[in-house]
Chain A
Amino acid sequence: MKRKTFWLLTALALLALLLTACAPAAAPTEEQAAPEEQAAPAGLEPAKEIVFYNWSEYIDPEIYTLFEDETGIKVVEDNFSSNEEMLAKLQGGATGYAVIVPSDYTVSIMIEEGMLAELDQANIPNLANLSEQFKNTYYDPGNKYCVPYQWGTTGIGYIDGEVDEPTSWAVLFNPDPNHPAYGRTTMLDDAREAFAAALVYLGYDINTTDEAQLQEAKDVLIQAKAGLAGYDSDTYEDLLASGENLMAHGWNGDFLVAQEENENIAYTIPEEGGVIWVDNMCIPASATPEEKLAAEMFIDFILRPDIGAMLSDYNYYASPNAAAEANFDAEFLEDPTVYPPAEVLDKLQFIHPVGEAESLYQRLWDEVKSAAP
């Protein structure tokens, strides 16, 4: 009998353990949310800690320290490497993120899907610091849902001296086995960016939904594969700096950061044109009122002229912040890699959401990536 009692008690203890192990995950949020939701918004206290979901190497960690010193709010960073990855994680029900950094076309998608909280502009007085064109973007006129963070372009980085400046996307899409960068080139592992490059090369709109044009773009993307070392969105600039590769399809600021390691790295936008993009700070609809308030304080902090300058000083991307630009060196403001001249700007296009054609893009991208090189 005693042994039976022992086993029975063990089983019950295990069950209790299981139940308590499951419980804490749910309990605190309920406790916190209930009393404070009833409190008047005026008496709302900002969250003590927020999670900033950002692209990697995109912010000077010193900014977190300054923000915490000033407000007492701790910022924890988590990273993603593509808009689609971030979107999938939030669609999957991930919560706890207070500020996220989607690019332009992804902002449109998230607004349409009801995934973003409307900003309380009264909490973001530094919005006034934005340059005029960033107050009325195509995807969010009037900054109702988001505040531009940094902007940049997509083109080709290369090792000057070993490779001639690529003047056409043909260098990728019509690979020549005698070219020094043959087999030492990478392309972004990103369906929309890769198709944009191919469509620009073919002279089509980068947001086309025409199947024939997309098939043609798929064919040149497969053709490009022969000359590629691989698809890479995270380490391509390091591979240029180390001498492994000689050419890479990528984002301008990344190449500038890598220049510190290898001064021969150069960046160009081929004559056919390229992609221009703006990354934005937004608050997911899933944020609690306390998190949202802290997030708005953080966004306001980033918009300060000195902090905006720190940001560009760290990630080498152009700032949407006119007041911050006053703190930049003339050299940075005149660098055509960061601020493309007007004639280049004219040839750049924004990626837009393509709605139902999205699945066509992805299916063709699967074909490209599965094709025998």
Chain B
Amino acid sequence: MYRFLGKHTSLRAWLLLLPAALWLFVFFVAPLFIVLAYSFLERGTYGGVVWSFTLENFQRVFDPLYFNTFLRSFYIAGVTTLITLILGFPLAGYIATRPAARRGTLVLALMIPFWTNFLIRTYAWLTLLRTNTGLINVTLLSLGLIKEPLSLFGNDFAIILGLVYGWLPDMVLPIFAALDRLDPALIEAARDLYASETKVFWRVIWPLSLPGVVAGSMLVFIPSLGAFVTPAILGGGKSLMIGNIISNQFLAAHDWPFGSALSFVMMTVMLAATLIYFRVTSGKERRQL
């Protein structure tokens, strides 16, 4: 049989791909199609779906109530991405410029907190941020630095803080990888040619780290957009993101078709954003190289 396969290399490639393809089909593509199919059906009064075709679920996505939540989620995810980039870039740069032996230790130090479950870490933030019994407010009040407790919990500030904290390593690691590969000779060459430090950064370091920045931004933006644990816990359930609306459709509102439609629209938007983002940045890179 292998002699036959040896002559038919494409068939052999397909056979090798089969397990992975099967896996992806059963656990990824098929559920996705179920979600898509549900989004065109009517809701059962108490959950489930009624098999009759409708486009109403997609119309409801554009209902201002839900559409505004979409916009709000984009805003929160955007701010989160920007802050992690501002915090993460210098950190990645710092790690990348240490001696090789210390880099491993620093990367490990960055990862250690993330061996603890995300939910537990989010609850840990609660003990810091609570208005009246949180560590920060209690300390500041007892030191007499503030008269009234600061409002650190149950608002957008707390949500963004939780998301930045949660996704920072996802920004740092790809930028670190990009900076790590950067040839120091290029920076020396730029300096030898009398480029100022600012110019060295913007003309040499930044363009070469851009693939890492793009990858990091996608890795932070996408999960932040769909976040639902962080707004539910740190936001006090008082302000919703689209992830909460979707989870509510399944767990509380018995409206699976609408939940499916919302997920599908969100997935499409993310996919489109990803494609545009990658196309734009890779074009830039080509020009600069």
The interface-forming segment of B87-95, B215-223, B234-242 is B234-242
Query: Across the interface, do B239 and A11 meet the contact criterion of CB distance under 8 Å?
Result: no
Interface centre among B1, B19, B153, B252 (most CB of A within 10 A): B252
Q: A175 at the A/B interface (Cβ < 8 Å)? A: no
Which of A18, A358, A369 meets B254, CB within 8 Å? A358
The interface-forming segment of A206-214, A228-236, A249-257 is A228-236
Indicate whether A359 sits within 8 Å of B154 (C-beta atoms), given known contacts A1-B2, A370-B240. no
The interface-forming segment of B45-53, B103-111, B178-186, B200-208 is B45-53
Main secondary structure of the interface of A (DSSP, over half): helix
List chain A residues, Cβ under 8 A from B16: 7, 11
The range of chain B's interface size is 35 or more
Which of B12, B238, B239 meets A8, CB within 8 Å? B12
Among residues of A, the one whose C-beta sits closest to the C-beta of B234 is A230
List chain A residues, Cβ under 8 A from B5: 4, 8
Q: B69 at the A/B interface (Cβ < 8 Å)? A: yes
Contact with A along B144-179 (1 / 0, CB 8 A): 000000000110000000000000000000000000
Indicate whether A87 sits within 8 Å of B65 (C-beta atoms), given known contacts A228-B238, A359-B253. no
Contact with A along B45-71 (1 / 0, CB 8 A): 111100000000000000001101100
Q: B132 at the A/B interface (Cβ < 8 Å)? A: yes
List chain A residues, Cβ under 8 A from B23: 18
Query: Across the interface, do A4 and B132 meet the contact criterion of CB distance under 8 Å?
Result: no
Indicate whether A184 sits within 8 Å of B252 (C-beta atoms), given known contacts A355-B45, A373-B238. no
Query: Across the interface, do A373 and B22 meet the contact criterion of CB distance under 8 Å?
Result: no
Contact with B along A1-38 (1 / 0, CB 8 A): 10011011001001100100000000000000000000
Indicate whether A4 sits within 8 Å of B2 (C-beta atoms), given known contacts A184-B131, A244-B131, A362-B254. yes
Among residues of A, the one whose C-beta sits closest to the C-beta of B258 is A359
The interface-forming segment of B74-82, B243-251, B281-289 is B243-251
Query: Across the interface, do A18 and B22 meet the contact criterion of CB distance under 8 Å?
Result: yes
A110: min CB distance to chain B, Å: 8
Complex CA–CA separation, A18 to B25 (angstroms): 13
A105: min CB distance to chain B, Å: 11
Complex CA–CA separation, A189 to B237 (angstroms): 8
Q: A242 at the A/B interface (Cβ < 8 Å)? A: yes
B237: min CB distance to chain A, Å: 4
Q: A113 at the A/B interface (Cβ < 8 Å)? A: yes
Q: A356 at the A/B interface (Cβ < 8 Å)? A: yes
Complex CA–CA separation, A44 to B237 (angstroms): 48
Q: B99 at the A/B interface (Cβ < 8 Å)? A: no
Identify the B interface with A (CB < 8 A). 1-3, 5-6, 12, 15-16, 18-19, 22-23, 43-48, 65-66, 68-69, 130-133, 153-154, 235-240, 244-245, 248, 250-255
Q: List 29 A-B contacts (CB under 8 A).
A: A5-B2, A7-B12, A8-B2, A11-B15, A11-B19, A15-B19, A84-B253, A84-B254, A85-B252, A87-B46, A91-B46, A92-B47, A92-B250, A109-B46, A229-B131, A230-B236, A232-B237, A243-B133, A244-B130, A244-B132, A244-B133, A356-B45, A358-B45, A359-B254, A362-B248, A366-B245, A369-B244, A370-B68, A370-B69
Which 8 pairs from chain A and chain B are nearest by CB?
A: A230-B236, A91-B47, A362-B253, A231-B237, A14-B19, A84-B252, A244-B133, A85-B251
